[in-house]
Amino acid sequence: MRKVHILSLGCSKNLVDSEELKGLLLTGGLRYSDKPESADILIINTCGFILPAKEESIEAILQALRLKESGQIRSLIVMGCLSQRYREELKAELPGVDAFFGVNQIPELARYLLHRDAEAAPRSLMTPGHYAFLKIAEGCDNRCAYCAIPLIRGRQRSLTPESIRKEAEYLAGKGVKELIVIAQDTTTYGRDLPDKPRLSQILKMLDDMEAFPWIRLHYTHPAHFDPGLIDVIKQGKSILPYIDMPVQHINAEVLRVMRRGRSGEPIRKLIAKLKREIPGLALRTTVMVGYPGETDAAFRELQEFVEKTSFDRLGAFVYSPEERTPAESLGDPVSAKSKEKRLERLMNLQQRISLEKNRELKGTVQRVLIDTYDAVTDDSYGRSYRDSPDIDNRIIIPGKLQPGEFYDIRITDALDYDLIGELV
């Protein structure tokens, strides 16, 4: 039996695609290898969102080609966003790759490997098992000026509530304890469906199932935030008071050129309302620096906004022009040096904010879901409701605790981004 390994790069939406493909291939008779060098077939699910992601994908392909040249793998297949955008260029530059498939070609890829149409199959999880992502829509209609996602993944296509419930029931049956709801923009969910169901209805449906101790929400757009979401989050039994809301910027002119609004005031008002009405809210955001039109004054406004808002979690990245996006015509007027300097200043600010917030938690008892145990250091690593896996902070607990289980942990010390705790 042939063995396959899937290297999934980029976002959690990509990971769900990889899990769907894995399920089809295993049902079709292939075996799965946890290590690429032990596989006959290596599949790389690429990311093509921004320049660093594309560079990471190319480097992964080059490393895989070296495995193939040395005879450690027999076949190399590239799929996903980068393959969708640059298939012909990749074919010309990387002749050692056996085949390329786009983002919507999972059935075709499975047919290519199985030599027949794949049978319908549930996805095979590639997360630790106690948490999983539930993708409620594909594609995006927002048309932000800098973003290539609509070019890659097409218009928004929402899953029906019935399909979402069925997928959630499957994940609950697999023992998932933390369900993470995702889409390119979860807050526009349902606009393309006949009955126009809302995200708030989907969250309530998932909460009413009483199948998951934790339900976490990602990728909410501030301009599309459904007012009903606040009540659902407040009243939900399992819905965490955690909101991931990428604002990208706060300066009015930058937002206008980004095509994300004409003023930062609605964002400020929404954040104030969320903090006022949702007790214990953990607010995560993403911002971009160096966008065309971001003057020194505009960056200072963003910096002051970040400091005043005091986000619990913040990610930042520098702007890079993407081909065929509206922003490409604006050029790249902010120098690379200025971009990096602004990014450093912003992340240093967030580091200070994170440390202050962590120190406030010393002495408190937190409910923690354990992700991993490191036998070398004899430390367990987990998260409170404030932290999503892989992208947010961790809580480090000396000693062995069972991954996938909840524990009460007393916080004993605070680091810049992580916490130290002990079992109560």
53 and 182 share a domain? no
With respect to residue 203, please indicate whether it lies within any of the assigned structural domains.
yes
Q: Concatenate the DSSP letters of all residues of 43-62 into one string.
A: EEEE--SSHHHHHHHHHHHH
Residue 50 has a pLDDT of 79
- Nearest in space to 36 (alpha carbons), one of 62, 79, 2, 72: 72
**Cβ count within 10 A of residue 417:** 15
Are the beta carbons of 386 and 372 closer than 8 angstroms?
no
Domain of residue 193: give its range: 131-360
Instruction: Identify the domain boundary among 114, 146, 164.
Output: 114
Look-up: residue for tokens 């050029």? 331
pLDDT, block means (10 residues), the chain with 424 residues: 93 95 96 94 91 91 95 95 92 94 94 94 95 97 93 95 98 98 97 96 98 97 92 96 97 96 93 96 97 97 98 96 93 96 97 97 98 97 97 97 98 97 96
User: Which residues have C-beta within 8 Å of that of residue 343, sequence separation ≥ 6?
Assistant: 289, 290, 316, 317, 318
Within the chain, how many helices (H) and strands (E) appear? 12, 18
Residues 89, 218, single domain; the answer is no
| Same structural domain, 73 and 142 | no
Q: Is residue 126 part of a domain?
A: no
pLDDT at 1: 76
Cβ count within 10 A of residue 255: 23
Question: How far are the Cα atoms of 148, 248, 288, 334 from residue 339, in angstroms, in the given order?
Answer: 21, 14, 10, 7
Q: What is the Cα 56 distance to its own chain's centre? A: 16
Look at the chain and report how many structural domains it folds into.
Answer: 3
Report pTM: 0.95
Look at residue 82 and tell me if it is in a domain.
Answer: yes
Instruction: Give the per-residue pLDDT at 167.
Output: 97
Q: pLDDT tens digits for 275-286?
A: 999 999 999 999
Q: Which residues contact 2 (CB under 8 A, 6 or more apart)?
A: 30, 31, 40, 41
Are 264 and 333 in the same domain?
yes
Same domain, 104 and 25: yes
pLDDT digits (tens, 9 = 90+) for 92-120: 999 999 999 999 899 999 999 999 999 99
304 plus 378 within the same structural domain: no
Domain harbouring 25, CATH code = 3.40.50.12160
Q: Can you tell me whether residue 100 is helix, strand or coil?
A: strand
Residue 124 lies in a domain: no
Tens digits of residue pLDDT in 288-340: 999 999 999 999 999 999 999 999 999 999 999 999 999 999 999 999 999 99
Cα gap 218→329, rounded to integer Å: 31
Question: Which CATH number do you get for residue 147?
Answer: 3.80.30.20
